[in-house]
Chains A and B, each alone.
Chain A
Amino acid sequence: MTDRVPAADRLPEEREEIALTAGSVGRPAAATSASGSVAVPERPALEPAGETLTYESGVELEARSQWAYARMRFFRHRLAVASLVVLILVALVGIFAKRVAPYAFDELDLNNITAKPTLDGKHLFGTDLLGRDYLSRVIYGLRTSLWVALVVATLSTAIGTTIGAIAGYYGGAVDNMLMRLTDLFLVLPFLAVLLVLSAFLGHGKPVRVAFIVALLLWTFLARIVRGVFLSLREKEFVEAAKAAGASDLRIIVRHILPNCMGPIVVTMTLFIATAILLEAALSFLGFGIDPPTPALGKLIAEGESQGLESWWLVTFPGLVIVIICLAVNFVGDGLRDALDPTQRRTRA
């Protein structure tokens, strides 16, 4: 054994020997009873003999729920947290618009029409054609837009999740039919369909607009949820639940659905931004919210017709939209990282 013999040329018998003897070190004597009935011996304790050492490597191991972990991960993103703060502030401004806005949104001041923004606090955003304080109008517009966005997000999520779950869980003909339905929506540009719907179902009131947008937006979430359901319904835990006699509804809601919560929450958040942008576009084109209800998109449209020298009429409402959407996107990103850390981290 002293010469280097290449492994490939080793005699197989030699090899087998060491393989067999590998375990011979310290093997306890086999304890079989002579009569043939196998007495199951006591399982040896799995602690090292002598002093038991438990080693803390400096990290506390505390059992935490999944949500707690997600929360922890989310708060590591400073940008997402900051954005969340911004959103909360914006929401508060919207909710307490009456208190926050310096003037009523339709309060006229005909001595002061189309005034530039001033820093002295009288008209921070300037005034419009009728002398109305623009800051107040923007605040009220923000309120409407946020409200519509939240309604849209909630509605689309509810519808999308339901339809996606049904399609994904039952599969087959039901799935086919529902997916063909969404296919119909996909062949046309989104905005075009929205415009057509608005034109013919009527627009003007925020509720109508929210309803129409939600009517189309749910298809995006439905696809995602369907995908998750399709892949999960073959898993063993579903079989186990069925074997235990759980009804379909129970399986869907209590077993599979919690696994989709990640993508659902993220998508719902992003829907808020999408809804704001769509509503703004609709209002701008005249197919969304109509006066007198203030809306950011409409404000921009009115501002446009004033001529482009009164730049503040167009700039500020849009800026508000940008800030809200940015914040929503950052939060959505943070949520995605927090709820699905298995995805490769490509940090913004």
Chain B
Amino acid sequence: MPSAEPILSIRNLTVEFNTEDGVVHAVTDVSYDLAPGEVLGIVGESGSGKSVSMLSVLGLIPAPPGKIVSGEAVYKGEDLLKMPKGKLREIRGGEMAMIFQDPMTSLNPVLTIGNQISEAIQTHNPRTSDDAARERTIHLLELAGVSFAERRFDQYPHEFSGGMRQRAMIAMAIANDPSVLIADEPTTALDVTIQAQIVEVLKTAQRETNASTILITHDLGLIAELADRVVVMYAGRVVELGDVYTIFNSPRHPYTVGLMTSLARVDMDQEWLEPIPGQPPSLITPPPGCAFHPRCTLSQGRARCRTEVPELRSFSDGTLHLSACHFAEELAAAPVLTATGSENR
């Protein structure tokens, strides 16, 4: 186990939103580390809190409805959540950069691509001349695989294709050599063929900057291909955390197991896909105890699942492996139960 200091350390983060339907507990008591140079995947369904946790760390949550109730996010020794706004702004876009999901709506339609990328450069390097910024922008666009970069500089987002827009967004994110790169569902809005290309661009970006990357997605294939470690989130909490191989080969939380078994397989005969039964819970009135228990096959109605919120416990498989399940041991010992309740190995 490398003992390097984590570059970003989130502890007990809790974020709420005040809506007219009630208080939404978007993120509850979330903790994880990001080690230098690694790719950390955050997996979960929509509404699991995976995006919100990162957005609040960067200060991008609108303050009136949203509120960071508690927690800390330590970056290079300082707590981002307690930092004065100006200082956080310097880090944002500079040392910590974010790539968003939908490149069509995430780029300003009335400004040229070149203008928007140069802006990112010149905000964090005020003494850069316009020409220098332009040169660097073109270089970044080429790095991201945008052909005819010089001509593209003066074009508008609507003149780009979906894949090219995402390349431009990635170019914009790595413009200032960030130490932390956050990719929020970078391929979700794209065609499958383009997705593969963007994955390559992401790899290039990571290689060029040596940035620690946080990859937020619900696509397990993407995780398998890119991530070193995985954080699994459900209903605003971390339910499992571990090395990517461990998570895929021996998951220790019923939700993760459910995720894995629900994957469609090309290499096997499957008669039916096995989704996780039930619906994601309401974040305004989450179920008491373990949030997953209404849909859990392992729980079998045991009282402890209904009353006590499980803590993240460690399993020593050699690497750091945490799971928030009262009966996680049974997952390793007993054969894993499928949705049908039948036993299988």
Residues of A within 8 A of B (CB): 1-9, 15, 18-32, 40-41, 43-51, 53-55, 57-59
Contacts and interface: CB of A to CB of B under 8 A. Distances in A.
Contacts of B225: 15, 19
A44 B1 contact: no
Q: In the A-B complex, list the 5 residue pairs whose CB atoms are closest, starting with the nearest.
A: A49-B341, A51-B301, A26-B336, A44-B340, A50-B300
B203 A7 contact: yes
A18 B224 contact: yes
Contacts of B277: 46-48
B272 A43 contact: yes
Contact of A30 (B269, B274, B301, B341): B269
B276 to A, nearest CB: 9
Contacts of A26: 257, 260-261, 335-338, 344
A259 B342 CA distance: 48
A27 B130 CA distance: 58
A21 B271 CA distance: 18
B344 A49 contact: no
B261 A7 contact: no
A59 B228 contact: no
B37 A4 contact: yes
A55 B294 contact: yes
Nearest to A15: B225
Contact of B220 (A2, A22, A30): A22
A2 B35 CA distance: 14
Contacts, number: 142
B127 interface: no
Interface residues of B, number: 67
A22 B301 contact: no
A23 B203 contact: no
Interface string B1-20: 11010000000000000000
Q: Is the interface of A mostly helix, strand, loop or mixed?
A: loop
Nearest to A12: B225
A4 B38 contact: yes
A49 B300 contact: yes
A28 B342 contact: yes
A49 B248 contact: no
Contact of B287 (A44, A48, A57): A57
Interface string B248-277: 111100000100110101011111101101
Interface string B324-345: 0000000000011111111010
A28 B341 CA distance: 11
Contact of B257 (A21, A25, A28, A53): A25
A175 to B, nearest CB: 27
20 contacts: A1-B243, A2-B318, A2-B319, A4-B2, A15-B225, A18-B224, A18-B245, A21-B249, A25-B336, A26-B257, A27-B344, A30-B271, A32-B269, A40-B271, A46-B277, A53-B301, A54-B294, A57-B285, A57-B286, A58-B282
A296 to B, nearest CB: 39
Interface string B203-234: 11011001001000000110011111000000
